[in-house]
Amino acid sequence: MRYSDMHVLLVEDHGFQRRLGLRLLAEIGVGVLTEAADGFEALEQLRKAEAPPHVVLVDLDMPGMDGIEFIGIAAQHKLAPAIAVVSAMDPALLHTVQVMAQASGLRVLGSVEKPLSIDKLTHILGLLDDSTVTSASAINIDVNVEHLRHALSNGEIVPYFQPQVEFNNGRVVGVETLARWERPDGQVLSAVNFMPLIEAHGMIEELTTLMLVQTCIWRARWLAEGLPLKASVNVSAQNLTGPEVADHYENIVREHGMRPDEMVLEITESSVMSDTARGLGMLARLRLKGFGLSIDDFGTGYSSLAQISQIPFTELKIDRGFVHRAHEQPRKRAMIETSLDLARKLNLSVVAEGLESIEEWQLLAQLGCDYAQGYLISHAVAGEELPAAIQRWRQTHP
């Protein structure tokens, strides 16, 4: 997104700091600038606005309503699509606030340390995604069950694919399948906008089957073009309901020309641990049939190491929240190092999600991570666009 097209709201109680921030944002070329002296004023602006700002830059330490309370309310009522925290406080506190905001559904670009500078603001605003896919925290989207049922039956829910590459040589070795809703109005919605309804109204198995079938079909096309790729498909805890599921998945991949050992099923850490007893047998059967099993978003749940060691995972995915700017934040680096050490001891391969910068690539490569995935390599793209996306990466990789 061009700076001239951006609307940025700066929430800062200190008059001088607020004026400085506005001046720097104007020098960068931000098109629309609004300001608020505290959280109450900012919430009032957001509630009255016809369209929300693209980014809210919010200070944490403010009288009356501090930035943490403001972020919580803004997230609860979906008043803004993205925020960045502005503060000179302890990095550990900043990280906690970022995790809180993300858990509430807000997109968090990161934190900007005071004093503000053009370089710092340029970096944080540059993280605003301008892809055709609506932000994961998109607001004011009319989504209902009947629309979703129609979309599933009429081919509007389609797979997009994000490449995964080896750190040691930059070679693309696989893709993760991500569900997208290509709506008749031209919007392309990411799964976070419709997955809660899918799961709540019993459509998750239909969606999972669709993603598995389409992934197999696209993989056969890429293979014919000289691109032998593994594929990863997300599986909800609701899918793991009975012993017949493993047979069903095996039949799907074999009927479409794939072997189970060419497919990885990704399960979020929190969903697995919410019902370990029920899930263990199913995961064991899937593994017995040859499927790879990935523990997704590792580090964001509250599972014990003992539980993880009992489940037959083959892969661990480090959550993007730990990867983002880890080269600047010792706590994040420590979490990554611990995750990598655990994975080695459990003989798991490791995928780092959400890589956006060369610095993040260099850190993860230095620490011995196996695979990378993120915007640095490519956004998720439609199946027919994947070969071109891979070619672009080959020409530019670190």
Give me the CATH number covering residue 109. Answer: 3.40.50.2300
Read off the DSSP letter of residue 65.
S
Residue 135 lies in a domain: no
Contact 316, 292 (CB under 8 A): no
Peptide bond into 312 cis (omega under 30): no
Residues 10 and 40 in one domain: yes
- Examine the pLDDT at 138 and tell me if it is beyond 90: no
Residue 134 lies in a domain: no
Nearest residue to 22 via CA among 10, 40, 31, 37: 10
- Residue 300: per-residue pLDDT: 53
- Residue 273: per-residue pLDDT: 52
Mean pLDDT, rounded, for 220-231: 96
What does 101-135 look like in DSSP terms, one character per residue? HHHTT-EEEEEEESSP-HHHHHHHHTTS--SSBPP
Residue 79 lies in a domain: yes
* Percent of the chain residues past pLDDT 90, beyond the cut: 55
Residues 180 and 33 in one domain: no
Residues 283 and 201 in one domain: yes
SS3 category, 152: helix
Mean pLDDT, rounded, for 305-313: 72
- Which domain does 232 fall in, by range? 145-396
- Residue 272: per-residue pLDDT: 55
* Rounded CA separation 135/128 (Å): 9
DSSP H helices, 177-256, are 195-200, 204-224, 244-255
Residue 207 lies in a domain: yes
Contact 270, 302 (CB under 8 A): yes
Residues 118 and 253 in one domain: no
| Strand duo 188-190 + 172-182: pairing | antiparallel
Of 6-20, 234-248, 321-335, where does the model show the most confidence? 6-20
Residues 231 and 378 in one domain: yes
Which residues neighbour 48 within 8 Å (Cβ) at sequence distance 6 or greater?
none
- Segment 255-302, tens digit of pLDDT: 999 999 999 999 875 555 555 556 677 888 899 999 999 988 676 554
Comparing 1-5, 216-220, 341-345, 373-377, which segment has the lowest mean pLDDT? 1-5
Residues 112 and 174 in one domain: no
* Rounded CA separation 22/42 (Å): 15
- Residue 239: per-residue pLDDT: 81
Contact 215, 177 (CB under 8 A): yes
What does 88-107 look like in DSSP terms, one character per residue? -S-HHHHHHHHHHHHHTT-E
Residue 261 lies in a domain: yes
Tokens of 227: 């691109």
Residues 116 and 176 in one domain: no
CATH number for position 188: 3.20.20.450
Specify the number of domains making up the chain: 2
Residues 89 and 160 in one domain: no
Residues 305 and 191 in one domain: yes
Sign of CA dihedral 214, 217, 222, 228: positive
- Examine the pLDDT at 349 and tell me if it is beyond 60: yes
Contact 200, 237 (CB under 8 A): no
DSSP H helices, 289-357, are 305-310, 320-323, 330-345
pLDDT band at 134 (very low <50, low <70, confident <90, very high): very low
Domain boundary (75, 95, 125) is at 125
Tokens of 293: 């099993």
Contact 108, 345 (CB under 8 A): no
- Residue 133: per-residue pLDDT: 37
- Examine the pLDDT at 346 and tell me if it is beyond 70: yes
* Relative orientation angle of helices 204-224 and 145-153, to the nearest 10 degrees: 30
* Rounded CA separation 357/86 (Å): 21
Domain boundary (125, 159, 187) is at 125
Q: Token pair 């399948």 is at which residue? A: 177
- Segment 166-218, tens digit of pLDDT: 999 999 999 999 999 999 888 888 887 888 789 888 899 999 999 999 999 99
* Rounded CA separation 52/39 (Å): 15
Element (DSSP H or E) covering residue 7: strand 7-11
Comparing 71-80, 250-259, 275-284, 365-374, which segment has the lowest mean pLDDT? 275-284
pLDDT band at 130 (very low <50, low <70, confident <90, very high): very low
Q: Token pair 């569900």 is at which residue? A: 179
Mean pLDDT, rounded, for 114-125: 88
Phi, psi (5° rounding) for residue 320? Answer: -60, -25
Residues 94 and 218 in one domain: no
Residue 97 lies in a domain: yes
Residue 137 lies in a domain: no
- Residue 391: per-residue pLDDT: 95
- Which residue would you say has higher pLDDT here, 25 or 115? 25
Residues 99 and 160 in one domain: no
Sign of CA dihedral 28, 29, 32, 33: positive
In terms of Cβ atoms closer than 10 Å to its own Cβ (0-12, 13-18, 19+), residue 372 is buried
Residue 215 lies in a domain: yes
Beta carbons within 10 angstroms of residue 31's beta carbon: 14
In terms of Cβ atoms closer than 10 Å to its own Cβ (0-12, 13-18, 19+), residue 227 is middle
Nearest residue to 144 via CA among 196, 105, 211: 196
Residues 87 and 187 in one domain: no
